[in-house]
Structure 1
Amino acid sequence: MKIIAPSILSADFARLGEEVQAVEKAGADWIHVDVMDGRFVPNITIGPVVCKAVNRVTDLPLDVHLMIKQPELYVEDFVKAGADYITIQVESTTHLNRTVNLIRELGAKPGVVLNPTTPLSSLEWVLEYVDLVMLMSVNPGFGGQKFIDNSLRKTEELANMIQSKGLNALIELDGGINSKTIKSASDAGCDAFVAGSAIFGSEDYTATIKEFRTLLGEA
């Protein structure tokens, strides 16, 4: 079964708890939490305090994406806040392997994230240690951007890379996922789909997620 992970970046923060519970009721599988520091990306969002608050109102796994410099300094705080998955940008830390192992040692599932122009070769010596690889299908920093089409070819190549190594890492796509792109992303080998504005910007969360399931052949 494919994984739908609504991103709270596009939620109404004045009603964040209600929004999270609404997408859980609507059929979401994970809650995606975008953490930005204004340094690695040109935007500032939330920290462990908000992550902890979200964790209190949902039983769904928290998929926390750290778009921050030196993520190794903050991993423990997010694990304590309830993160189930923590993904870090390969471009953001000097000692990627060490940080991935730290995430697992602290009790969360580690993942790595590649920006649109970061090559898959950057995963060569870390892929066997992660549970999740996320490919950015937009340039990170803001929601509501258009899907970058060559992300599909990159997804296919990553799926082949994982299979050739006999590994089980999930592939996640983040950016521009909607009813027009989700099927092609799935066909390319994507397992988990981050959708922000496509879900939280819709009038009916249940109908939107059900449409995604139909397009994925699961409804």
Structure 2
Amino acid sequence: MKISASLLSCDTAYLGDTVVELERAGVDFVHLDIMDGHYVENFAFSPKTVQDLRRITNLPLEVHLEIDNPERYITAFAEAGADLIIVQLDVCRHPIRILDTIHKYGKKAGLAVNPGDSFERIKYFAEYVDYVLLMSVEPGFGGQKFERSVMGKVRLVKTLFEECDYQIPVGLDGGVSLENIGAIREAGIEVVVVGTALFSQEPLSQVVAAFKGL
């Protein structure tokens, strides 16, 4: 299982230094939540943030667009250096068109599904996505409580992909901790997005190793 470090929970006064430390600690991805104050009641990061971080790390940069009208910003984040662009399925009026646009820039495309949303729509876009991110909290803020009901959705999604022979990695985002990582790993999740639990303890290298089960 791979670890994607969510920068939403870190001290942004030391953002660059934190990313360098994360790379040394052995995380697999850097996760940037992009928030516009409309889709969610919070603001976070921009294409300039992605551009600046791209200069100092070789880690893949995941950009999670928790914004309205994501189609307007694909170009900006692709050109800034994002490796994977994730859009919220519930705000995509034309998901296939958006996913195709992401691929035209040579980037990987992901879809995120909220805890209360049906996963059934995913199967209609499976051939267009490289990654599915299941939200285990409502998007918008770090430090939220893990929604245990999403584990049932994890099993259903994994079963669907196996039956249809889709080789699509499934990630989980929100409330991930050392207390629930065992159950998440057993459910077959390939990637966990970790924020608060990652940055609330030190040193980072030991915390990352604990999450990876090393």
- After TM superposition, the score normalised by the length of structure 2 is 0.98
Q: Please list the CA deviations of residues 150-206 of structure 1 after superposition, one character each: whole Å capped at 9, or x if unmatched.
A: 111111111111111111111010000110111211211210000001112212111
Deviation of 1:93 (Å): 1.8
- Aligned counterparts of 2:33 and 2:198: Cα–Cα separation in 1: 15
Alignment of 1:86-165 (within 5 A): 86-165=85-164
Structure 2 counterpart of 1:12: 11
Q: Tell me the matched-pair count.
A: 214
Give runs of aligned pairs for residues 1-219 of structure 1, distance below 5 A.
2-214=1-213, 219=214
- The one-letter code matched in structure 2 to 1:143 is G
Cα RMSD after superposing both structures = 0.8
Q: How big is each residue's C-alpha offset from its partner over 1:115-151, in whole Å with a ceiling of 9 and x where there is no partner?
A: 1111011212101211100000001100011100011
Which shifted more, 198-207 or 136-145?
198-207
Counterpart residue type for residue 175 of structure 2: G
Q: Distance in 2 between matches of 1:162 and 1:169?
A: 7
Contact 2:2 2:212 (C-alpha < 8 Å) held by counterparts: no
Partner of 1:111: helix, strand, or coil? strand
SS in 2 for 1:124: helix
Gaps of 5+ in 2: none
Q: What SS class does the counterpart of residue 212 from structure 1 fall into? A: helix
Percent of pairs with identical residues: 37
4+ runs of 1 displaced by more than 3 Å? none
SS in 2 for 1:51: helix
CA distance in structure 2 between the partners assigned to 1:178 and 1:59 by the alignment: 26
CA apart distance, 1:28: 0.3
Secondary structure of the residue that 2:172 maps to in structure 1?
A: strand
**Ranges in structure 1 where 5+ consecutive residues have no aligned partner:** none
Q: Is the 8 A contact 1:66 1:89 kept in 2?
A: yes
CA distance in 2, matches of 1:105, 1:171: 22
Q: Tell me the amino acid that sits aligned with residue 101 of structure 1.
A: D
Report if aligned partners of 1:153, 1:188 keep a CA contact under 8 Å in 2: no
Q: Structure 2 counterpart of 1:45, which letter?
A: A
SS at match of 1:194: strand
